[in-house]
Amino acid sequence: MLKILGKDISINVRKVLWTCRELGLPFEQEQWGAGYRATNTPEYLALNPMGLVPVLIDGDFVLTESNSICRYLANAYGGERLLPVNPRERALVEKWMDWQATELNNAWRYAFMGLIRKHPDYQDAALLQKSIDDWAKLIGLLDTHLAKTGAYVAGDNFSLADIVVGLSVHRWLSMPGEQPVFPAVNRYYQRLSERAGFREFGCNGNP
Ligand SMILES: N[C@@H](CCC(=O)N[C@@H](CS)C(=O)NCC(=O)O)C(=O)O
């Protein structure tokens, strides 16, 4: 049985949970991370020296980094539909996964920590506005792209890229205040909402 260490409210944990659902994989989950079981213990740091969630334990194999875990699960458990074998099709999926992990994550961090998590270290008004502007710019790029595909981020078919980008879109739409409206992104959100995995782990009340 797969074991996933990490709390339900974490976007990175939810990527892995949703991937398991899409693949029909049973799993056990333990709630680790701030507010739950502490990740700064020697026991946990031996699994992930970063002290972050999620961690996947598959028998004697331990893996960290949410996007890598999603790719591993698709590779190991018949997920070609989510991560194609064809090099070009796969590259388009991986490109958007990398974009989410590097560009999008970095853009939203300050605004998310300040406005949603209400962390005292993230309350500088100018930096909050810059983060929202950077985030909106990237969601705008995604909107232009989705208007072209008319379906999913890597083309006609749902893939791992939609799990990581879809959760990020849900986070964007959870932001308080008046934010720019992106019609293709909104249609994409509706499309994702037809999936049980997204309803369970994506748009489930956690930003
Ligand atoms: N690059 C890592 C980032 C993991 C990460 O930042 N996890 C956050 C939760 S989303 C975390 O563990 N924060 C500390 C905590 O909650 O204790 C991944 O994608 O797995």
Q: pLDDT above 90 covers what percent of the chain?
A: 98
User: Which structure tokens are listed for 82?
Assistant: 């989510």
Helix axes 87-99, 160-173, angle to 10 degrees: 20
**Residue 72 in 3-state DSSP?**
helix
- Per-residue pLDDT of 91-113, as tens digits, reads 999 999 999 999 999 999 999 99
Residue 10 CA, closest ligand 1 atom number: 10
Question: What digits encode the pLDDT tens for the residues 10-44?
Answer: 999 999 999 999 999 999 999 999 999 999 999 99
Q: Which of 13, 39, 52, 206 to mutate to test the pocket of ligand 1 (most atoms within 8 A of CB)?
A: 52
Q: Which atom of ligand 1 is nearest to the CA of 51?
A: 12
Residue 12 CA to ligand 1 centre (angstroms):
6
Nearest protein CA to atom 1 of ligand 1, as residue: 65
Among 53, 65, 102, 108, name the best residue to mutate to test ligand 1's pocket (greatest count of ligand atoms within 8 A of Cβ).
53
Nearest atom within ligand 1 for CA of residue 64: 20
| 204 or 144, greater pLDDT | 144
Q: Cα(54) to centroid of ligand 1, in Å?
A: 7
Q: How far apart are CA 125 and CA 137, in angstroms?
A: 18
Extents of the domains making up the chain:
2-76, 87-199
pLDDT at 163 over 90: yes
What is the CATH T-level fold of the domain 2-76, as seen in this structure? Answer: Glutaredoxin (3.40.30)
Mean pLDDT on 70-92: 98
pLDDT higher than threshold 90 for residue 62: yes
Gap between the Cα atoms of 125 and 122, Å rounded: 9
Which of 9, 18, 23 shows the shortest CA–CA distance to 193?
Answer: 18
User: Would you state the pLDDT for residue 205?
Assistant: 87
Q: Predicted confidence band at 87 (pLDDT cuts at 50, 70, 90)?
A: very high
**Residue 116 contacts residue 174 (beta carbons within 8 Å):** yes
Please tell me the CATH code under which domain 87-199 is placed. Answer: 1.20.1050.10
From the list 140, 207, 201, 198, the residue with the least C-alpha distance to 175 is 207
Residues flanking ligand 1, CB < 6 Å:
10-12, 33-34, 39, 52-54, 65-67
User: How far does residue 170's CA lie from ligand 1's centre (Å)?
Assistant: 17
Say how many Å lie between the CA of residue 52 and the centre of ligand 1.
4
35 Cα to the center of ligand 1, angstroms: 13
Per-residue model confidence (pLDDT) at position 115: 95
The 10 Å Cβ neighbour count of residue 77 is 15
CA distance 114 to 91: 34
Give the Cα separation of 31 and 186 in Å (integer): 31
